[in-house]
């Protein structure tokens, strides 16, 4: 009996630690393959404005800015939509509708990104071109739309849980003081759920910045510096799409190969920072919510 207990505990412990172990291994592998790029090519080249690896031009600036542009666009679109949907599902929708909406939102998350990418390429991008009257519909904005759609389920689910976690007493209190339904949601429920909502946004960003396939299919992949005010409506090339499009081609160990891994390191760092911020928000946000409950 005790033996069995020991075995089960060990298995669970190993499984738990393996997650950390694998992340460290992945990071070490990335460093081993990618780090040489940082000293083998000059910083001028690495942070230059031209990405054309066939001619040893490894400027990652257009790629970094492309990723940021597409991701920011996606968040700006997805945040209000996701938040509104979460509020509707939790605070306004009748029970029967909520029971339908919740699982539907989760099904959204299951649509493969290549399907969305194809949809974006053949259906959304022509509309973008016609409605916005831009030269081509394959733009950063089209990518943002697809990414927004993809990060919506994450944002909705997490925000919904956060709103659900706000104690009923808060709402009752607000309503008893004469607040309207809307005032209760906007002034009481949302501020109380703030930390959860921020996590939702962070996870949404994490989902968006790492997404590859759909982005590769709809953003046009032109490695240009988004310098104009309306750069969102021109093509862009993201870090992920670059890795995906070019990794298959390179000879192992070549500079190009190392640079692609170096881009992977940059991505890893960015996602790590986002997750770290989200964790800090959770830790700081937790007790404050409890404190308010007392007051």
CA distance 46 to 38: 8
C-beta of 136 vs 275, nearer to other proteins: 136
Least distance between other proteins and beta carbon 37 (Å): 18
Least distance between other proteins and beta carbon 3 (Å): 46
**Is 50 a residue that touches other proteins (CB under 8 A)?**
yes
Buried b (16+ CB within 10 A) or exposed e, 43-52: eebbebeebe
The pair of structure tokens assigned to 117 is 């990418």
C-beta of 102 vs 256, nearer to other proteins: 256
Query: Which residues are CB-neighbours of 135 under 8 A, at least 6 positions away?
Result: 129
**Is 135 a residue that touches other proteins (CB under 8 A)?**
yes
**Is 136 a residue that touches other proteins (CB under 8 A)?**
yes
**Is 55 a residue that touches other proteins (CB under 8 A)?**
yes
**Is 70 a residue that touches other proteins (CB under 8 A)?**
no
CB 211 within 8 A of CB 221: no
The pair of structure tokens assigned to 260 is 């692609």
CA distance 270 to 259: 17
Least distance between other proteins and beta carbon 80 (Å): 30
Candidates 65-73, 131-139, 201-209, 281-289: pick the segment binding other proteins (CB under 8 A).
131-139
**Is 131 a residue that touches other proteins (CB under 8 A)?**
no
Least distance between other proteins and beta carbon 28 (Å): 22
CA distance 107 to 87: 19
Count interface residues toward other proteins (CB under 8 A).
37
Least distance between other proteins and beta carbon 225 (Å): 8
Candidates 20-28, 52-60, 104-112, 196-204: pick the segment binding other proteins (CB under 8 A).
52-60
**Is 62 a residue that touches other proteins (CB under 8 A)?**
yes
Candidates 91-99, 122-130, 198-206, 269-277: pick the segment binding other proteins (CB under 8 A).
122-130
**Is 5 a residue that touches other proteins (CB under 8 A)?**
no
Question: What are the residues binding other proteins (CB under 8 A)?
Answer: 50, 52-55, 57, 62, 114, 121-122, 125-126, 129, 135-138, 213, 216-217, 220-225, 234-235, 237, 245-246, 248-252, 254
């Amino acid at each position: 009996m005790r033996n069995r207990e020991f075995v089960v505990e060990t298995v669970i412990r190993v499984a738990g630690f393996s997650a950390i172990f694998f992340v460290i291994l992945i990071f070490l592998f990335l460093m081993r393959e990618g780090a040489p790029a940082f000293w083998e090519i000059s910083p001028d080249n690495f942070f230059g404005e031209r990405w054309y690896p066939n001619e040893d031009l490894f400027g990652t600036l257009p790629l970094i800015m492309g990723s940021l542009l597409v991701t920011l666009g996606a968040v700006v679109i997805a945040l209000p939509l996701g938040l509104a949907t979460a509020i509707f599902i939790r605070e306004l929708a009748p029970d029967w509708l909520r029971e339908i909406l919740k699982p539907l939102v989760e099904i959204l998350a299951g649509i493969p990104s290549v399907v969305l990418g194809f949809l974006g390429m053949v259906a959304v991008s022509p509309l973008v071109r016609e409605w916005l009257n831009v030269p081509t519909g394959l733009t950063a904005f089209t990518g943002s739309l697809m990414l927004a759609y993809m990060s919506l389920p994450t944002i909705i689910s997490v925000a919904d849980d956060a709103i659900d976690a706000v104690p009923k007493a808060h709402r009752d209190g607000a309503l008893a003081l004469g607040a309207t339904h809307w005032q209760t949601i906007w002034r009481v429920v949302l501020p109380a759920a703030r930390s959860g909502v921020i996590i939702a946004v962070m996870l949404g960003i994490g989902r968006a910045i790492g997404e590859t396939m759909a982005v590769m299919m709809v953003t046009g992949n032109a490695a240009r510096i988004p310098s104009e005010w309306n750069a969102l409506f021109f093509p862009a090339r993201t870090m992920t799409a670059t890795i995906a499009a070019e990794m298959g081609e390179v000879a192992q160990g070549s500079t190009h190969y190392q640079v692609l891994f170096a881009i992977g390191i940059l991505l890893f760092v960015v996602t790590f920072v986002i997750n770290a911020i989200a964790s800090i928000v959770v830790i700081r946000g937790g007790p404050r919510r409890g404190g308010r409950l007392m007051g």
